[in-house]
Chains A and B, each alone.
Chain A
Amino acid sequence: MICKTRLIAGLSLLVGAVAACSSPSEPTTTAETTETAPRVLTLYSSRHYDSDKELYAMFEAETDARLEVREAGASQLLETMRAEGDQSPADIILAADAGSLWRFKDAGLTQALPSETLESLIPANYRAADGHWYGVARRMRGIAYDPTRWSAEDLATWPTLAMEDKAGEICVRSSSNIYNLSLMGELIHRLGAEAAQAWATAVVGNMARNPQGGDTDQIRAIAAGECSIAITNHYYWVRLSTSNSDADQQVAASTAFLFPEFSEGSGSHVNITGAAVTATADDLALAEEFLTYLLSETGQTYLTRETKELPLIDGAPLPEGVDALPALSPSDTALDIYGENQAEAQRLFDLAGWN
């Protein structure tokens, strides 16, 4: 931190001017920073929602700490931190996937944050046992389907997608998408690599078209009649149903959503947005304060209001539209599995011919 402020202060006039006009949204100028030296928390986030920025601003207002945020892909942030080494300004990593958090931990970039507050707030399977990361919101991978074509029983488990009656009916995005990889990670964990590959191969055989576009495009394809089953995260479906556009609302209305299990009673695939404290962070109290804030009612509301994720804390207000989702019985798989199995998942997808 000190190093960085000294560096900024030492900048030439030109860059000083540039830096000042580059971040006009932040009321504090660099000069003031050096004088009053407020506490600074640097966030490396792979999320990029406008509502997150509002949340950060509220945290700053409440705590007089200042947040610096770098948003980029998780892999890029990871390489950046590796390159920065000891000098990394990062204090908190915010990632929209448990597998990514595992990667940071695996690379030795995180540290344990023992916190009774956080442990009491967060159910055990949504945080690392050793305190290296904590979940803050939930995101589920599920299935949107054409209710005139299928009943919920037909699609009750993921293996049902591999059955022959689904031939030419499935729409899904490409395999390198992190949500597909995490889902495959849990399938590998539960079924074994061989069976998981066989499942992927069968699903590829049942696809209505080559994997393409994003999750929303898959749901729209159902409405357009190109397929009747779309693998998608729940919030894309919720966003369509709460969209300003009538066309979008009609798309959501013509489809139904469900959370398949792996086998009957296994529970459904859950992913998280989570936070980890970096190995280079020194103000752990501030880090804990920030994480606790994310789990407060305000934090949960702002994290999920725009994204339509599910709050992690029971009793936190639900974002508009998620009440249309069916009841959820989450799987109790330890989420570290997603990260551990990620490369294997991609390899099996490649072999299965899932683009």
Chain B
Amino acid sequence: MSAIHPLIADQVSRSFGATAAVEAASLTLEPGEITALIGHSGSGKTTFLRLLAGMERPDRGQILSGDTVLASDTQHVPIEKRNIGLVFQDFALFPHMTALENVMFGLRGTAKPDRMKIAEKWLDRLGLTSRRDAYPHHLSGGEQQRTAIARALAPNPVAILLDEPFSGLDPSMRDRVREAALSAVRDAGMPALLVTHDASEALVHADSIAVIDRGKILQTGTPDALYHQPQRVEVAKALGPVHSIDLESLPGQWRAAIGSTTGTVHYRPEAIQLGTGEPVMVRGSKLAGAVTEVALALDETNTVYAACQPGAPLLPGDQIQATINPSLVFDFTPKMT
């Protein structure tokens, strides 16, 4: 068994024609960790994954597995020699092979019974024992995706890259499949990249998160750090809803809590806490899953948005009180020094 190394992208750039898809992006995928790469569509996240996998060749920069150079100005290890596992959004199973044959595809160098044993072990690991002889078109979406993950992990790759692996799945099964799949990936111990546009998926399941926008990696860190200390508004927006407001329009008590009096700040809805504090008027509310989103009128023209636990129904016109939690208010104004 080969030692496990981090997978490193160092100042990697790739452009198509005049547009830069990925620009000087650096990222280190640590073994045993799941790194989520989030960004909206067109942000360059898929190109970045394709660069790591070897499907694209970087224009500049290096890709390394530990000390081994996979891609540089002078070198390019093709995809079939990199031994990096890939999992696609649309599964990409071989339609003419059974689940077992799919998993066996990447195994070589050993006798067939051995390969079969390894493949069966991975199918077991992902709860597919009874489906080993089924063809992909007889498998459910979740089963197909788990098969694809087993197939990617079976050859013991140096890293595994997952491209929006769960977004094609039915929401009712998505959680279960994700749980089983990611725990298998984590247990396998190699570096893993989870490309997603679903911030909550990244926040809940990743060990670290990188935010990519217009080809640039803006910030990398733990989910907690990124959620609470985004360095740019794009990062803040990528990880969850944020709203902006002029400090001047806020009640004095809130401004005091924030410690700043002029300019525009961004806040997460859960920064506004209902109960005590300044009087505000309910403009409207709607239930959004686990939380209720409430629009609160500060005065005639200014409104703030809060997210709170569902409780007694709030009706438009209700007068309530609210405070602000300054740790969820972000000031991205360049500091004058």
A contacts B directly (C-beta below 8 A): no
Taking Cβ atoms with an 8 Å cutoff, the residues of A that contact B are none
Taking Cβ atoms with an 8 Å cutoff, the residues of B that contact A are none
